[in-house]
Chain A
Amino acid sequence: MRTLVIAEHTGSQLTAGTLSAITAAIDLGFETDLLVMGGAEASDVAEQAALTKGLHRVLLAQDEMFEKTLAENVQPLITSLVGDTYTHVMADASSMGRNVLPRVAASLDVGMLSDVIKIVSADTFERPIYAGNAIATVQSIDSVKLLTLRASAFAQASSHQDRCEVTAVNGGRSASTVSFVSEQLTVSERPDLSSARVVVSGGRGMQSKANFALIERVADKLGGAVGASRAAVDAGFAPNDLQVGQTGKIVAPDLYIAAGISGAIQHLAGMSGSKVIVAINQDAEAPIAQVADYMLVADLFEALPALEQAL
């Protein structure tokens, strides 16, 4: 029994989601290796990752073709590494993990479990279905278990001083079927939405993109991340990578403040695991009230600046 975690990094460090996946893997109790893929920058990331507590070994796959982690290029590498060596393969349920792992599963002719929130045993796992309105306990009967893990359900692994071995691996294949064209990433000073301790989200009730500054100022006072409902994203108030919900990011911060968000099923699926939920809404009957620990029925254009002042 041996576990391989597929790492994701920013170019300088492992993502928070990867650190959560490592925790889940180590909790499972088997020897755990971490695969770091990327271009020239990957060796620094691998060296740093080697200090993560509990890891047995870091595998470093350094090649230009891994730079954008295109599923077509990394799948042959992961499939060959799994071979007869690994019984479990895990990754954060990020857009990378969701993109790559099903391809690996098909190549190994095994099933896959998405968005696991609890490891019951080596072959049994819990995952939410129906927008979080039910929790399924599922047993995998394949020889290799492939899982993506919901980052908010696991603590982040920490570093320690004992560096584990870093081994270079290769075996990818640059696919002719796909090529990277360009990317546009949102630059932000704020903490990453999926791992932030505090999230302040705005919905349709914010009325305009300019008004979203009220959300940002409260978030900055709390050192938190900014989130948005689908309605706010669709209306152009916030970029789509800030969307919290079934189809966006799943967050579980210590404090989630929902301003002008009604609380549709799809939004609740993304934040109802938060420790404390505050709702600021003019409508006392809004469904968000059913999950809120503290409900303030007020005009958010008065309440948000007042909250910023009071903090």
Chain B
Amino acid sequence: MKVLVAVKRAIDPNVKVRVKGDGSGVDLNGVKMALNPFCEIAVEEAIRLKEKGVVCEVVVVSVGTSAAQEQLRTALALGADRALLVETNAMLEPLNVAKYLSKVIDNEKPQLILFGKQAIDQENNQTGQMVAQLIGSGQATFASAISYADGRWVVEREVDGGSQVVALTAPAVVTCDLRLNEPRYASLPNIMKAKKKPLEVIAADGLGASVREHTRLLKVTPPPVRKAGINVSSVSELVEKLRNVAGLV
């Protein structure tokens, strides 16, 4: 059985972004980039499924510029078997990414397609669900546990107010939440080995997906600045402030 993991090159989660002065976007010049943390969890899960003998091949795929090869190599170093880059310089919208990925899925025929639940840059939380619709498969979003039993994927999901378990027939789309697992670190020998693993570059235009523009980014602004706060020296002073100044308690 084969698992396909979609991964995204995104800003390092510990970087605080700066909005460009002209309002055209955030300044990514010289900013540290990484594998989107949720995608890292998806890769880790795929590798664990392979270690358990549930799947035999882990394929990672990314849609983006050639720079994303770096993140695909990271995924290979973590234990993925081979990588695919759908290369494009276009502005990427979730539906277009989903269309490219569904073409890749048609070719690869995986039994499980793993995603991170969202990318920490655009925070859309859409691509996995869109792919599931496009390929007509079931979806389990925000997964906190994945197992395979009696020919079905059994997934525990994090939902508002608690958790829910659903069972999906293959091929299934699962998007990974934070608590699914703790991703491993790539060892130096594995990083070296990853350089020799296959990484195929596919031109996005060659996939035959009918993509078009759906949204236009008009401007990006910094969030409103909060005014500076004050230090209080005791609990009684705090309560007095909340009572008198803010009228909250």
| A residues with CB within 8 A of B | 68, 70-72, 75, 94-96, 98-107, 109-115, 124, 128-142, 175-186, 194, 198, 222, 230, 233-234, 239-241, 246-247, 249, 254-255, 265-266, 272, 276-278, 284, 289, 291-298, 303, 306-307, 310-311
Contacts and interface: CB of A to CB of B under 8 A. Distances in A.
Counting contact residues on chain B (CB < 8 A from A), the size range is 35 or more
A29 to B, nearest CB: 20
Interface of B: 11, 13-14, 16-17, 19, 26, 93-95, 98, 117-118, 120-134, 136-142, 144, 154, 157-169, 172, 177-179, 213-223, 226, 229-236, 238-239, 241-242, 246, 248-249
A184 B164 CA distance: 6
Nearest to B159: A95
Contact of A177 (B130, B172, B238, B246): B172
Given A278-B242, A306-B235, A129 B220 contact: yes
Contact of B218 (A124, A176, A291, A303): A124
11 contacts: A102-B127, A105-B95, A114-B125, A134-B221, A137-B218, A137-B220, A276-B242, A277-B229, A294-B242, A295-B231, A296-B234
Contact of A295 (B132, B161, B179, B230): B230
B220 to A, nearest CB: 5
B168 A178 contact: yes
B249 A292 contact: no
A266 to B, nearest CB: 7
B121 A129 contact: yes
B91 to A, nearest CB: 12
Contacts of A94: 160
B217 A138 contact: yes
A186 B138 CA distance: 26
B232 A111 contact: no
B164 A180 contact: yes
Contacts of A72: 132, 138-139
Contacts of B215: 111, 113, 138-142
Q: Chain B CB within 10 Å — which of A104, A131, A247, A306 has the most?
A: A247
A96 B98 contact: no
Given A110-B214, A130-B26, A291-B226, A75 B133 contact: yes
B26 A137 contact: no
A99 B14 CA distance: 27
A181 to B, nearest CB: 4
Contacts of A276: 242, 246, 248
A100 B128 CA distance: 11
Contacts of A115: 123
B179 A240 contact: yes
B162 A186 contact: yes
B148 to A, nearest CB: 14
Q: Chain A CB within 10 Å — which of B140, B230, B242 has the most?
A: B242
A198 B230 CA distance: 20
Contacts of A311: 239, 249
Contacts of A307: 235, 238-239
Given A110-B95, A306-B235, 12 more contacts: A68-B164, A72-B132, A94-B160, A99-B141, A99-B142, A100-B129, A107-B133, A141-B213, A184-B162, A186-B161, A241-B159, A255-B242
A264 B40 CA distance: 20
- The 5 A-B pairs at the shortest CB distance, nearest first, are namely A111-B214, A177-B138, A178-B138, A102-B129, A106-B133
